[in-house]
Amino acid sequence: MLFRELSEEQRQIVATIRDFVERDVKPIASEYEHQDRYPFHLVDKMKDLGLFGAIIPETYGGLGLDYTTYAMIVEEICKGWMSVSGILNTHLIMCYVVAHFGTEEQKRRFLPAMARGEKRGGLALTEPEAGSDVASLRTTATRQGDVYVVNGTKMFITNGRHGNAFALLAKTDTQVKPQHRGISCFIVEKGAPGFTVSKDIRKLGYKGLDTCEMIFESFPVPADNLVGGAEGQGFKHVMSGLEVGRINIAARGVGVAQAALEAAVRYAQQRKTFGKPICEHQAVQLMLADMATKVEAARLLTYSAAAKKDRGERCDLEAGMAKLFASEISLQVSFDAMRIHGGYGYTDEFPVERHYRDAPLLIIGEGTNEIQRVVIARQLIQRYKLAD
């Protein structure tokens, strides 16, 4: 989607986010990232911009944006610093789950505060023994009167330290087959004993953002916080939410790749070898052409998946394809940008080294690309299934 095809509202929103990134994010990104420092002041600015309620319906205090506009916002943020988008992403997946599957009482109790950024958190899904294989999770929630008692460990939880509310998946039935039918989703909040953020996880990239291990030991969750008021629906809730997450990951990939491309194009015009700028060398020109083509293809795949989500259609196949392609080209383009920068690209003087360290997360996050390929293939076979 070209910029001239956007609505006036979309233009204004994208321009506002671009100004925010240029003014507030880019000047501090390198310093904060290398110090692994959490950007509290950027969180406050995002609250003021209403971004924590980006896809929450206006009825509950959100902006009610469509997913295409949301993808554009994520792309712009990631052109500045990808970690900032992480503060929003899993928070908004949780918002999506509550908004689409929660009871009316749950929506009114949680969504307005989440839209304001007062309640912030994300998705407590991954465990030490369960990542892409969600059905293998071991955390349990046992009903005892008016509460469920939760026991288990969650790993790699974004916003785990600075967030205060999470959509947690746990097994309420450990005997049912297939296993995913025994999984339920709960809204859990910090405060009661038994919920411990045990450690912060050090990472190659994606720094400045809290990624944590969380331990639940006989932690009580009110029965009223069971999403939708029904057990056994959590797997369905989260799989639907992950469509949004994969559109987000794809948009991140586009943003990181676009930033790396722009850095490479600028540097290629400044750096001279053999008496002329390196952008005049055919080898570099071929690299830049391939990089730009890959970025544009990833962008179109991402917006196509988002547009299908906007129409209310199932888009798990399209979101998976966008996530797969955009994350792979993000790593490729950031690496090529580093090569164009030569020795300087391997230093921390230029942002391309950060893009190169951030990109691998996109290949792993929201379901590894290896799993994603299997899921895509299965859906293709189902879609074009031969008649018996």
366 part of the active site: yes
Q: pLDDT class for 5, splitting at 50, 70, 90?
A: confident
Between the alpha carbon of residue 74 and those of residues 13, 88, 135, 197, 217, the distances in Å are: 12, 9, 29, 27, 35
Whether 152 has a pLDDT exceeding 70, the answer reads yes
pLDDT greater than 70 at residue 67: yes
Q: Which CATH architecture has domain 236-383?
A: Up-down Bundle (1.20)
Q: Domain 3-116: what homologous superfamily?
A: Acyl-CoA dehydrogenase/oxidase, N-terminal domain (1.10.540.10)
374 Cβ contact partners less than 8 Å away, ≥ 6 residues apart: none
Please write the tens of the pLDDT for every residue from 265-318.
Answer: 999 999 999 999 999 999 999 999 999 999 999 999 999 999 999 999 989 899
Residue 146 token pair? 């008016």
What are 327-355's pLDDT values in tens digits? 999 999 999 999 999 999 999 999 999 99
Neighbours of 279 (CB within 10 A): 18
Tokens read off for 178: 């297939």
Taking residue 247's Cβ as centre, other Cβ atoms within 10 Å add up to 29
Tokens 């959490």 sit on residue? 38
Task: Please state, for a pLDDT cut of 90, what percent of the chain lies above it.
Answer: 90
Buried b (16+ CB within 10 A) or exposed e, 91-119: bbbbbbbbbebbeeebbebbbbbbbbbeb
- Return the domain boundaries, the chain: 3-116, 121-232, 236-383
Per-residue pLDDT at 1 exceeds 70: no
Q: Catalytic pick from 231, 243, 328, 366?
A: 366
Could you say which architecture CATH assigns to the domain 121-232? Beta Barrel (2.40)
Contact at 8 Å (CB) between 150 and 221? yes
What is the C-alpha separation between 276 and 279, in angstroms, rounded?
A: 8
